[in-house]
Structure 1
Amino acid sequence: MKLFFAVTCLLAVAAAFPKTEISAEEWLAFKAQHGKIYASQEEEAQRFKIYLENKQMVNDHNQKYERGEVSYRLALNKFADIRSDELRRGGKLRRPAASMNVPLHVNSNQPLPASVDWRTTPGAVGEPRYIMMCESSWAFSALGSVVSQLAIKKGLHFPLLSPQNLVDCTRTYILRDDGCEGGWVDDAFQYIQQNGIQSEDDYWYHGYDENCVFNKSLVVPGVVVTGFFGLKPGSEDDLMDAVANVGPISVTVGAYDNAFMTYGGGIYNPAPATCTTDPRTPNHAVLLVGYGSEKGQNFWIIQNVWGGDWGEQGYMRLARNGTNLCGIASQASYPTVL
């Protein structure tokens, strides 16, 4: 009887989307692939409705992609049954006033390579990670920058450093951060500068807020941050110079819309209303690892923290068109290391 009710309920939901074909097998396969378990039949019906909405959006968009009208495609990934506001959580990634006075990167004013990709430098870029339902992107981005600088400047390679250490402990040492509700990359640099950082083997990532259990005796030797630089807000020229001459850069973007969440590949170049350049709205930290061009269209290469099954194996190519798309140049910084 319960199974009959559930199927009847889902069929009723599907009837509201006549343009979108779906079978019971497809829905079951989606749930199995991504380990989806719902608390009730009512919740499953709601998730199914969101899935259908996203599927219709993805299908409509990808038809435009096939016709050459847009430069990127979408995909029904693990976020297909949730809304963007659910994934966003706190998203408090705006630069604090105390961080406004940091020294700024000085543009070299030298010719730059046509393309840069730090993934080709051994140890400079780690594998894409997944933050789960915790807005700890700031912690992952900061650690990505630190590891990159140690590899590029010192030739040092380390085990995974602990983002959970930052999520739990910057709330104690730097009171303006809120762990899984959002933090700030520069605060992570400052914390590591003052305290060091443990490895993930010693301080596991769980994807939710916990009490700080930092152990100074277990900090990873050789991970020494001496400070950090910001970049002139909104300057794509300075950002391009920094990623070419310094290495991967921590940046923030406006990520929490359905198109960004379901990005499946290509050069992401949405309408400005979808991905605003307003410096107050970037809400998700990523690691900028390079730039390039394809068929006359320039792009940035960013490593996201939504797993290797998102986008282009965990990466996005974001249009680099001089408009500070998605606010990528609004709040950028990188650490200095010893």
Structure 2
Amino acid sequence: MARSLLIFFSALYLVSGLPTGQWLNVSPDEPELKTAVDLVVREYNSLSDHEYVFRQLLITDAKKQLVSGLKYDLTVLLGHTLCKKRRDVIPDNCQLYGPDNPRTVKCNFSILIVPWINETKILHQKCSQESLLRELIDSSSSTESEDELLETITLFKDFMITYNKNYADHEEATRRLQIFSQNRKKAQKIQEMDQGTAEYGITKFSDLTEEEFRTFYLNPLLSTQPQRPMRKAVIPSDPPPAQWDWRDNGAVTEVKNQGMCGSCWAFSVTGNIEGQWFLKKGKLVSLSEQELVDCDGVDHACGGGLPSSAYEAIENLGGLETEQDYSYQGHKESCSFSTGKVSAYINSSVEISNDETQIAAWLAKNGPISIALNAFAMQFYRKGISHPFRILCSSWMIDHAVLLVGYGERVGTPFWAIKNSWGQDWGEQGYYYLYRGSGACGMNTMCSSSVVE
């Protein structure tokens, strides 16, 4: 094992390209960090007088420096396990302690690895029982036990690895852990009150306050500014089929990611136009949201916008470029639209009925629909059919634009299939399933489509 570690660090040293003497932050998911942490945890266990093995719970700070070797400064939270010390014990495989032997320690390590002389040296080790867990207990008004808080910390560690989270320092990591803990309880309350089959819990937004989530990912203009008037759409006279999904019929591009930018309105509109262009021209093209963020002079880029205004902006511009030609940046830049690169255009736009049966009929015949809704339950949504109480997810607080692509039933529960713009690592591969038939979360209040002739 020691030989393989030295070979690993020798290769790492030769290709690192680190500037000598400069400290650089290390991402929690980097393989080199895991190996360095394994070394210091092994050292801690070998030198401590504890009968039981401790294992890593959370890395709150990690830096590296090129000196006479590779130097790492690490702050690691360790947890007491139920494994007694033995030569063959692997700490990460050990169950964490129970209520009768609670213990966590926060340790600062400094480690130097000099691979060409076959040397690994722990330069500094300082561990304190005043751990991050203790800080949480002291600063929280929660009635959680230490066991419950330790479970939260373990989940937070997994969350950081899963979503590649890296915080600036120990204080920021502590703050995010506290928010994460509060959000776990909030998600549980939403779960208890939901009337559908949805599962709520840890998502990539679990370390954000409600205010941060709304600021970075939602669109308050949807409920504070009036829509531009549009003509009414003609509703098909035939009843809609029992189920329909435009993903199965070629009219929907892959799920995209708006990033930390309130540009959902642009994604909702481009998704609708992608479907209309496919149905009228026979070609599915991924269109540019960044063009709208940069060149729509009426809407407010990452500050929000309205689909009705975006349609008008596209008509005035002359069309949309492709995603490939005008790629998404996630922030406003100077408009660089070129009429010579237009790949899709629209002729007008229509407002669609707020009757859900009529919405289904129009969708099945004419394509995906741009809609807006109240995103109350979406921060912690994981899967299933979401059905919040109306009072919690009212139609007067519309704050997120999405794309309605289909509808159907799951085990007797009717749903709308909604394409979101938060990436494929959210919800069900980027999709949200919402109860159909009650105007849930105001999904029927702002339905519209472009018209391609």
TM-score, normalized by length of structure 2? 0.65
Equivalent runs, 1:95-114 vs 2, <5 Å: 96-97=225-226, 99-100=228-229, 102-114=230-242
Residue 2 of structure 1 deviates from its aligned partner by 7.9
Residue 319 of structure 1 deviates from its aligned partner by 0.5
Equivalent runs, 1:159-170 vs 2, <5 Å: 160-170=286-296
Given that residues 13 and 49 in structure 1 are in contact (C-alpha distance below 8 angstroms), is that contact kept between their aligned partners in structure 2? Answer: no
Matched, 1:116 2:244: yes
Q: Distance in 1 between matches of 2:132 and 2:241?
A: 54
* Structure 1 stretches lacking a partner, 5+ long: none
* 3-state SS, counterpart of residue 190 of structure 1: helix
Q: Distance in 2 between matches of 1:95 and 1:119?
A: 32
Q: Once the two structures are superposed, what CA deviation does each residue of 1:191-215 show, in whole Å capped at 9, x if it has no partner?
A: 2222221222222211112222222
Q: Distance in 1 between matches of 2:403 and 2:236?
A: 21
The structure whose RCO (Cα within 8 Å, separation 6+) is larger is 1
Which of 135, 148, 157 lines up with 1:28 in the alignment?
157
Q: Which amino acid aligns with 2:316?
A: Q
Which of 195, 199, 213 lines up with 2:322 in the alignment?
199
Which of 283, 292, 311 lines up with 1:189 in the alignment?
311
Q: Which residue of 1 aligns with 2:407?
A: 291
Residue 246 of structure 1 deviates from its aligned partner by 1.1
Aligned length: 320
Given that residues 165 and 197 in structure 1 are in contact (C-alpha distance below 8 angstroms), is that contact kept between their aligned partners in structure 2? Answer: yes
Q: Distance in 2 between matches of 1:35 and 1:104?
A: 46
Equivalent runs, 1:1-338 vs 2, <5 Å: 3=75, 4=106, 8=130, 10-15=132-137, 16=142, 17-18=144-145, 19-22=148-151, 25-59=154-188, 70-89=196-215, 90-94=219-223, 96-97=225-226, 99-100=228-229, 102-122=230-250, 124-158=251-285, 160-171=286-297, 174=298, 177-195=299-317, 196-220=319-343, 223-232=344-353, 234-255=354-375, 257=376, 259-278=377-396, 281-322=397-438, 324-338=439-453
Residue 12 of structure 1 deviates from its aligned partner by 2.7
Q: For the structure 1 residues 291 and 13, does the alpha-carbon distance in structure 2 shift closer, same or farther, using more than 3 Å as the test?
A: farther
Q: Distance in 2 between matches of 1:30 and 1:163?
A: 29
Q: For the structure 1 residues 117 and 299, does the alpha-carbon distance in structure 2 shift closer, same or farther, using more than 3 Å as the test?
A: same
Residue 219 of structure 1 deviates from its aligned partner by 2.2
* 3-state SS, counterpart of residue 261 of structure 1: coil
Larger Rg: 2
Q: Distance in 1 between matches of 2:189 and 2:452?
A: 47
* 3-state SS, counterpart of residue 330 of structure 1: coil
Q: Distance in 2 between matches of 1:230 and 1:45?
A: 47
Given that residues 252 and 284 in structure 2 are in contact (C-alpha distance below 8 angstroms), is that contact kept between their aligned partners in structure 1? Answer: no
Q: Which has the higher strand share?
A: 2
Q: For the structure 1 residues 95 and 153, does the alpha-carbon distance in structure 2 shift closer, same or farther, using more than 3 Å as the test?
A: farther
Q: Once the two structures are superposed, what CA deviation does each residue of 1:227-259 show, in whole Å capped at 9, x if it has no partner?
A: 010123x3223322221221100000111x3x3
Cα RMSD of the aligned pairs, angstroms, is 2.5
Q: For the structure 1 residues 61 and 186, does the alpha-carbon distance in structure 2 shift closer, same or farther, using more than 3 Å as the test?
A: closer
Given that residues 225 and 336 in structure 1 are in contact (C-alpha distance below 8 angstroms), is that contact kept between their aligned partners in structure 2? Answer: yes
Q: Distance in 1 between matches of 2:392 and 2:131?
A: 33
TM-score, normalized by length of structure 1? 0.86
Identity of aligned residues (%): 32
Residue 336 of structure 1 deviates from its aligned partner by 0.7
Residue 295 of structure 1 deviates from its aligned partner by 2.6
Q: Which residue of 1 aligns with 2:8?
A: none
Q: Distance in 2 between matches of 1:245 and 1:70?
A: 28
Q: For the structure 1 residues 320 and 28, does the alpha-carbon distance in structure 2 shift closer, same or farther, using more than 3 Å as the test?
A: same
* Structure 2 stretches lacking a partner, 5+ long: 1-72, 76-105, 109-127
